[in-house]
Amino acid sequence: MSTLVVSPNRSLRGAELGLMAAGLAGALILGGLMTWLWGFWPILAFDAIALGGLVYGVWNADRHGRYREVIRIDDDWLVVEKGQSCPEYHFRALRVWAQVVAGVRPSDRKYHVSIRSSGQECEVGSCLGEEERRILAQRLREMLAPAWATPALVTSPSFKTHAGDFRS
């Protein structure tokens, strides 16, 4: 069984993100307090709006940072689970019918990777950059290749072909 976990690049974990937000919020509150003491109290409304935007931005970054795509491939099945902390989307296909579809779509001119099977399609790697999606597509193609199509079997010294006359 093979498992791929696809997640977005995240430079700060939740605690570090909270610490950064607390520092910025402290600076905003200190600046608002100073402007209030100098008599510019109408500025406090803009300071509150900036603080609200900071809280929303930190919350949104943390939520998107927890996104995961888990791709499991075993002998019979291919399973894709997507979600934040628990699987919110589940795609299951027989491995022999699964096909990796990758390329640039004309609608948005971005490279997309999908797994198609039995009329259903599941996009994977949506949180990755373009080069990472290309690598993911190649890796999935290698993992889904049937055993008889692997180059190791063809180039093996024990694998011999006999060309010539097959008459008895």
| Distance (Å, whole) CA 73 – CA 92 | 10
Nearest to 94 by CA among 144, 37, 33: 144
Cβ–Cβ under 8 Å, residues 37 and 29: no
What does the domain layout of the chain look like in residue ranges?
7-65, 71-148
Averaged pLDDT for residues 13-18:
80
Cβ–Cβ under 8 Å, residues 113 and 137: yes
**pLDDT digit string (tens) for 75-125?**
889 999 999 878 889 999 999 899 999 998 888 888 999 999 989 999 999
Question: Rounded to an integer, what is the distance from CA 163 to the centroid of its chain?
Answer: 48
Instruction: Give this prediction's pTM.
Output: 0.68
What are residue 72's DSSP bridge partners?
3, 79
Residue-level pLDDT at 154: 44
Question: In percent, how much of the chain has pLDDT > 90?
Answer: 27
Question: Rounded to an integer, what is the distance from CA 56 to the centroid of its chain?
Answer: 22
b/e string for 9-39 if b means 16 or more Cβ within 10 A?
A: ebeeeeeebeeebeebeeebeeebeebeeee
Read off φ and ψ for residue 75, nearest 5 degrees.
Answer: -65, -35
Helices (H) then strands (E): counts for the chain: 4, 7
